[in-house]
Structure 1
């Protein structure tokens, strides 16, 4: 079995993991200094968010140069040192790749702005004439994921498409130069020793060539491809579930040819095996599976698990449907993820406080027993919840476009030690780039280390148990729900999660690991592995 088919991958949000130079922003040397912590936690690999040259309008997801390191985060020498140290410790390194759009400061886009309509420079992006009198209206009705129209007009009257911030113009993947450029980027980082790529917005590279209007029901107020927010109504949710949305900007069939080309490049590099994982917000498990057919990408994030409510029935459904969809496409095993840098941390999604944390630990323990790879988000091993960042400290571009809180609350820098901010995040004394709460002293790595009741020690036990019991386990997995109890059987172990409000009788078997204290009965919001 290949390493990536059973790996536990830890997401490092570079700005918020560890700061080596004291400027309040995380960096590559900071990551390198903390790699032993990740090894001891028990993960197999780390995925690092973009550290390339960037004006940082979207914190690195607006790339100006794909083949250099932004001075904010270090240098190419620092990247090489990180890779070397990680490999010494037995850790793989996956780097983020952003192929849907560039920064507006990228040399290509600057050339496009300086060139006339119809020029070769503009053909690398999606420039179009506007509608209405004098072309004063956008070319179509598409909305940005970050709020507002997905089009911005330039001085000569044309408009360019940006499915995200206006500082992130979408590339035109029908222009052959774009594909050639990104193959070069892949080879640049593969030659430096990276073990793989996480592909940002993997479902969005191609748009329907006509760039026609999107057909939107009147009730649907979300932007295309946007993750449902907490304030989504039941009516909107049910409508989305009943009818596949019309999305001419996502999931176009041509995108799969891109990934077949990339798969060939990755396979050229041979051992150690290099991989790519898609961030593809698809509408169904079946369409997600298309990205990981044998000749395409190796993995795709399984957001069905992340988006499932606290329900034994719903957990069983997403487990079985994900496994079945991938098997039908002869694809790789599933991935499982509960939090990342774009969504509310799962202890908060599950209710917050002691109940939310108990549920988060139970869901994590269940996830770690499932076949395939598990992706963890930095800080979840500390039990961190979503932070209500003060408005004056918010930096997410979606906040500035919509006035909604955005994603800053899950991106607050990690607490490592000490009793007050910055909690050992860096050598300075002040608050980091997003301020940390004053009540995090009990959540630091230092405070939790050695405390058997802590979330950190729970994660260490759970990851060690996964490595011992499921490293070479058969992929066969059966999940079923009985009232409010989820039961998963795999590899000779039984996993039981009590999603109800009352304790239930503990099934027969020896306890391997549990998400909380257990006895003759399995408490509510608790999971256990039995053999």
Structure 2
């Protein structure tokens, strides 16, 4: 039975519009490039900066406003570049500083801004600072740049506390001192080769202010800040028995993660917002970002930005990272984590606008990135289960057709909402997760540190398919790829979708074109009365001058019954075919002018 059509003018205000001359970052669509996997210029199987530069016209034509590059710095690559050995140079596998300069210049010539990754929570163990810390010994100024501590037990044989690594195993490693004896322990919230900085040391803050200035001088337009909520640890480094709450969908209650019988021993950090782990979201991080904002604000035009990767709950705490004197953007991971559930989507959208509007910041929407299962596969899984950290061949497989159908609808919802959005490479092709990768090819430290219990992130990092019948699907001039491409990727290649009506690539191009023309990113938002039950329906009012008040209905039907659009609604785009009389079928989204 078709749902009835209420009065198209019945709206519940949700978010006020931005002015037409708002800064670029408030409504930008930013495309994430994972350099290892986007384009390989020399045939070694690893993507590089010249390869990226050659493919930039594709992104201009796609219609994005900027690119974000995952790390390209000098690194031993134990965590695919998130273990940085030199923040002021390019790893030879990716190219050189002149290659970076050429990329930035070419992007700007094409009208694209460039955001680079910054990794301030930890360095590589190959960084000169850490090598000096090991050589200098306990109590030295060199060790003071990192979190070194004496161990517990009679001979210091136990870690200083019980913190685990996000990647599995213990979060501490004991060093052997120069005289050959077991010595202090150093903290690594991630891999053993990623020692955490001690941000209470002024030298660390001065160094990163200098790094920001270095890359600003080379022309970058902003920085995506890795693990932005993790730089400062609670004083005293107390034990923690709760979940780590990062890169997974762990229960937000610390008690829920405790083994039976340990509830009384858990040190729960009670705040106004519930339990908070001592390694995340400490007050001191905000002082760091106020300093960084002042560094960027002191740079010559154009305005440069900071974007937080902060896995922080609830939204009210995340919004603190985007106050007017801190960062400009923070990824909305609550939106990314939301299952295909209309009520929950409405809750997240409402809360996100409310909390970000309270501090005058845009909401930064995202559905996929290099750390999570691609949403074309994620939405094809059982939506009653937590989001998995990777999918293996022997695990429940996504429904590919259903996942892609929902992914197209979810993206239409995301790009129809006011604010900024991030798009992960390949999602414009509808790329699914690689779920059949043999274990011997896996490189994510999560897989190896958990002995395969956690599949990890390799499945979303597979090299891009550009040309179906070319070596490495057009990724490079040879058949070499650092991760194997699934056979199915050929059908998703760019050359198979360009100019093909109804393809996911052409849908993205159309959405981005309409979004830009109608200034949807700067619009106001209000709930339409069709919102409710299994329907999410937002009216985005945008435009200026003669176009002021132009209204776009952004509607997604997550229910079993088709939904009729309001009388007079003019469909601009739909994520899939509409039914009889223009009704919106299950798992389809539309943009319609009112």
Q: Does 1:459 align with 2:459?
A: no
CA spacing shift, 1:349–1:441, aligned 2, 3 Å? same
Q: Does 1:345 align with 2:374?
A: yes
Cα-to-partner distance string for 1:326-382 (whole Å, 9 max, x where unaligned): 122x23110000000000000111113111101000010010011110100000000
> Which residue is 1:396 aligned to?
444
Cα-to-partner distance string for 1:392-414 (whole Å, 9 max, x where unaligned): 11000111101121000000000
- SS of the residue 1:96 aligns to: strand
CA spacing shift, 1:502–1:390, aligned 2, 3 Å? farther
Aligned length, in residue pairs: 519
- SS of the residue 1:86 aligns to: helix
How big is the alpha-carbon RMSD for the aligned residues of Structure 1 and Structure 2?
Answer: 2.0
Q: How does 1:421-500 map to 2 (within 5 A)?
A: 422-428=472-478, 430-471=479-520, 473-478=522-527, 481-491=531-541, 492-500=551-559
Q: Does 1:99 align with 2:149?
A: no
Q: Does 1:189 align with 2:189?
A: no
Q: Does 1:407 align with 2:469?
A: no
- In structure 2, runs of 5+ residues without a counterpart are 1-21, 178-182, 381-398, 542-550
Between stretches 206-215 and 76-85, larger displacement belongs to 206-215
> Which residue is 1:166 aligned to?
192
* Larger relative contact order (CA 8 Å, sep ≥ 6): 2
Cα deviation, residue 224, structure 1: 4.8
> Runs ≥4 in structure 1, deviation > 4 angstroms?
none
Query: Do 2:247 and 2:372's aligned partners in 1 also have CA atoms closer than 8 Å?
Result: no
> Which residue is 2:425 aligned to?
378
Distance (whole Å) between structure 2 residues aligned to residue 379 and residue 103 of structure 1: 29
- SS of the residue 1:202 aligns to: coil
> Which residue is 2:321 aligned to?
291
Q: How does 1:74-473 map to 2 (within 5 A)?
A: 74-156=95-177, 157-216=183-242, 222-228=243-249, 244-328=274-358, 330-351=359-380, 352-388=399-435, 389-402=437-450, 403=452, 404-419=454-469, 422-428=472-478, 430-471=479-520, 473=522
CA spacing shift, 1:472–1:173, aligned 2, 3 Å? closer
Cα-to-partner distance string for 1:14-65 (whole Å, 9 max, x where unaligned): 0000000110000000000000000000000000000000000001100000
- SS of the residue 2:590 aligns to: strand
Structure with the greater alpha carbon radius of gyration: 2
Cα deviation, residue 223, structure 1: 3.5
Distance (whole Å) between structure 1 residues aligned to residue 522 and residue 304 of structure 2: 23
Between stretches 286-295 and 510-519, larger displacement belongs to 510-519
Cα deviation, residue 418, structure 1: 2.6
> Which residue is 1:63 aligned to?
84
Query: Do 1:320 and 1:478's aligned partners in 2 also have CA atoms closer than 8 Å?
Result: no
Distance (whole Å) between structure 2 residues aligned to residue 455 and residue 267 of structure 1: 39
> Which residue is 1:44 aligned to?
65
Cα-to-partner distance string for 1:168-204 (whole Å, 9 max, x where unaligned): 0000000000000001100000000000000000000
Between stretches 345-354 and 44-53, larger displacement belongs to 345-354
Query: Do 1:320 and 1:479's aligned partners in 2 also have CA atoms closer than 8 Å?
Result: no
- Output the TM-score relative to the length of structure 1: 0.95
Cα-to-partner distance string for 1:298-335 (whole Å, 9 max, x where unaligned): 1111101000010111111100100101122x231100
CA spacing shift, 1:5–1:243, aligned 2, 3 Å? closer
Cα-to-partner distance string for 1:266-313 (whole Å, 9 max, x where unaligned): 111142111110000002100100000000011111101000010111
Query: Do 1:147 and 1:223's aligned partners in 2 also have CA atoms closer than 8 Å?
Result: no
Cα deviation, residue 503, structure 1: 2.1
